[in-house]
Amino acid sequence: MQIIKVLMVAATGMGLTWFAQQLVEGPPSYAQTQPADPAGDAQSASDVNSVLEDAEAAAAAPDELEEFTPSKPLSADQAVSMPSDI
């Protein structure tokens, strides 16, 4: 009788584990069931390349960046009196 109880508890645990996994993963989506479109990959690769070229061009010209100088002192730059026992 003990073995039947142990087997039932183990089966229940495995069933609950499977059910929780199904809840988390969910059913396969439409994107997962459809084959990849090679033409779409080529277009996205060219888009990525153009974005990378723009980023490299912006990074290659550091002379255009100006250092920030505030017109009035920022609150972090002001002195704060602190007690000496800290």
Q: Is the pTM of this model over 0.85?
A: no
Phi, psi (rounded to 5 degrees) for 80: -125, 130
Condensed to tens digits (0 to 9), the pLDDT of residues 14-66 reads 988 888 887 777 766 665 666 666 555 556 778 888 888 888 887 776 666 67
pLDDT at 36: 63
